Structure formats: structure tokens, C-alpha cells
Amino acid sequence: MGGAFLAAAVLARVGGRIGLPTIPLFILAGILLGPHTPGVVLLDDPHDLEMLSALGLVLLLFYLGLEFHLDDLRTGGRRMALAGGTYLALNVGAGLGFGFALGWGTSEALVLAGVLGISSSAIVTKVLVDLGRIGNPETRPILGIIVVEDVFLALYLAALQPILSGADNLGAAVLDGGKAFGFLLLLAVVARFGTKVVGKLFDTKDDELLVISFLGAAVFVAGISEWFGVADAIGAFMVGLMLGSTASGARIMKLVHPLRDAFGAIFFFAFGLSIDPGDLPGVVWPVLAAVAVTVAMNVLAGMATARIYAFGPKATANISTTLLARGEFALILATMAAGAGLDERLPPFIAGYVLLLAVLSPLAAGRSHWLARILPGGRTRDQEAVPV
């Protein structure tokens, strides 16, 4: 673990001197020091970092919840659902069509629909933080789309599992989906009506006790969420959503920063460990085609979201490029596909696709003004509209 931290830090410092974002550098460190490349191998088994990696994802989404206040849900829930539904319809639909176009099979197409359709919450959060866009007007819709995606993710995984396992019991699939949705609903009710009680439970002037309390709550609820078939990250997000509206919210946000950054780096490093570069050449053309489809769908989704929120070309470009990354959900689907004995080209395809977008997304987001210039109205001097 010490070697992972140091390798990530060295590469990030070098990359920072030439203007590269940290995310792809953390991933590159994992690839170079993993079991699939020659030279120094820090870890023979990437699963050795699995718990620390999961903690990184939990903390990234916990921080996201702290930033996303309940007032945003109450005042903009309808637009958030519309923007998120539009994003999913475009990207999941394109992913399904792309999967059938490859001709790898129906189960493979359903997996690819999820792979191409869901953004990486971890990378999106890191990009927003690194670029200093947390306070931007378009960030609220971006976070809203992530929330809608995570709800869809829980239901999609519950429905896909019996299909990949060959089960013909529709009732079991419906039961799993209902269990996941019920737990999400319970978390939402607590977030909506239990904020005062939660605030009193976490009210302390001792920073040490506060850190232990919010860390324990985030990890515990994340684990319970996973047991109910909901992604652990969305459980942590909901805890952050509750605590962000309490009197301790500002202190928690400050205290979680170093934890988020440290374990977030481990998450991306562990992602790199799982990638075998030798498997990528055989799927390079499908990967490039999938990336092109994803870029096109994200631009369309960004334009649709901008229309819903009355944004201009700059915000449209920020939305389109920030949501481009794919990550943890795609890797979960790759693992499920391998366990179900699906087409052997699927796991390396997913690895290559995710790796390319993990590198491309932070770079594109940092240069989103290039895209803004070619969007409708991009060359005018009109000011960005403020959301109603």
C-alpha cells in the first residue's frame, strides 16, 4: 500500500508539471506496477487492495453527497429526473444498439448497454473537484444525473443478474429489484425527514469523534446498501446527503478531504492493477467505435440537459465532457460477464473502453471550451444563463 501511494504521488507530481490530470496517472501507476506488465510488481493479486479501493469509492461518493444539498432535490427534482432519464435513454439505448451491432449475443448486448450507459461517479466527482467546478451552476444537474444513474444502476443489476445466470425465475428478479428500491426509498425518507435527529447524533466539538462518527456511518450504510442490492456508493452518497444539511456539514466536508484524496488515489490505482494491456489489441476497433458512440451521445445529452436548465454553450460543454468517464460499474459488469461465461472478448473490451475514457474524460473536461466553440451559439458573446 505504501508503494501504491508513493508511485501515485510521484507520477501525479510529474504529470502536474506538464498539465496532466491525476486520474489517468493513478491508473497508469497501477498498470505499470501490476502483475500484467514486466518489471517491479507491487501486488500479484489486485484483490489485495479491494477493501481499500472500495473505501476510496465510498469516500468519493460520500463527499459528493455532502455537496448535493437536500434543497436541490426539493426544488429541482423534476428537472433532475428529466435530465437523468434523457441521459440514460440516449446512452443505454446506444449501448444496447452497439451491442447488437457487434453480434456478440443478447446477454452481451445487455451488458454493453450498462457499460456504455452509466458514468463513473468516482471519476466525475474527482474531475469536478480537480477543476474547481463544484460551485458552478451546471454542477447541480451533473450531480443530479449521477444520482438518477445510481438508482437505475441498482435496479439494472438486480434485473440483469438472473439473466446472466440463466435463471428463468422472473419473480426472484422482481423481488430483488423491489428490495433494492425499497431500501433506496427508506434512505430517501430518512434524508428528507430525519435530518434534525441525525444532526443531533453527530453534534460534537471534538474533531476526532466527528471523523470516527461520519466515517463509521458512511461505511456501515454502504455495506448495508450492498446487502440490499444497492450499490455501496449510493448508500455512502445518501449519508453525505443527510450530513451535509446538518450544523456539522461544513466541518465534515473539511475533515473528509484528506481521506477522500488518499483513498480515492488507491481506488484508481487498484483499477489500473486489474488491466492487462496484452488483452487490448484484439478489441481495439470495437473500443474506438464505442468511445465515438459515447462521445456523440454525451454531447447530445449535454445539449438536452442544457435546454432543460436554460444553460449556454459553456455549461453544455462542461456537462458533456464531465459525464464522459466510465468506470466502477463497467468493471462490475465485466466481472459478472466473466463469471457467466459470456463472450471472452467482453472483459478486455470493457477494460480498454474504460481505460481510454478514464484518460480522455479529465483531459476533455479541462479543455471543454474547445467543444463550447463549435456548439450552437458557442461563438456568440451571450452570457451563460442562470438556472431558474
Average pLDDT estimate for 129-143: 87
Evaluate whether 93 touches 304 at the Cβ level (below 8 Å).
Answer: no
Confidence of residue 294 (pLDDT cuts 50, 70, 90): very high
Instruction: Tell me which residue of 124, 129, 164, 161 sits closest to 144, measured CA to CA.
Output: 124
Average pLDDT estimate for 69-76: 63
Mean per-residue pLDDT of the chain:
83
pTM value? 0.73
- pLDDT for 237 equals 82
- pLDDT for 173 equals 62
Q: What residue spans of the chain are helical by DSSP H?
A: 2-17, 22-32, 50-67, 70-102, 106-117, 121-130, 139-164, 170-193, 195-201, 207-227, 232-244, 249-273, 284-309, 313-322, 328-339, 346-366, 368-374
Q: What is the pLDDT of residues 95-129, one digit of tens each?
A: 999 999 999 888 899 999 999 999 988 788 888 88
C-alpha 305/C-alpha 380 separation (Å) is: 20
> Residues 263, 211, 241, 365: is their CA dihedral positive or negative?
negative
- pLDDT for 378 equals 67
- pLDDT for 15 equals 77
Q: What is the pLDDT of residues 167-185, one digit of tens each?
A: 555 666 677 667 777 887 8
- pLDDT for 219 equals 94
What percentage of the chain has pLDDT greater than the value 70?
89
- pLDDT for 116 equals 94
Q: What is the pLDDT of residues 295-328, one digit of tens each?
A: 999 999 999 999 999 999 999 999 999 999 887 7
Q: What is the pLDDT of residues 219-269, one digit of tens each?
A: 999 999 888 877 777 788 889 888 988 889 889 999 998 998 888 888 888
- pLDDT for 321 equals 94
Confidence of residue 381 (pLDDT cuts 50, 70, 90): very low
Domains of the chain: 2-374 (1.20.1530.20)
What percentage of the chain has pLDDT greater than the value 90?
28
C-alpha 354/C-alpha 327 separation (Å) is: 6
C-alpha 262/C-alpha 254 separation (Å) is: 14
Is the pLDDT at 70 greater than 70? The verdict is no
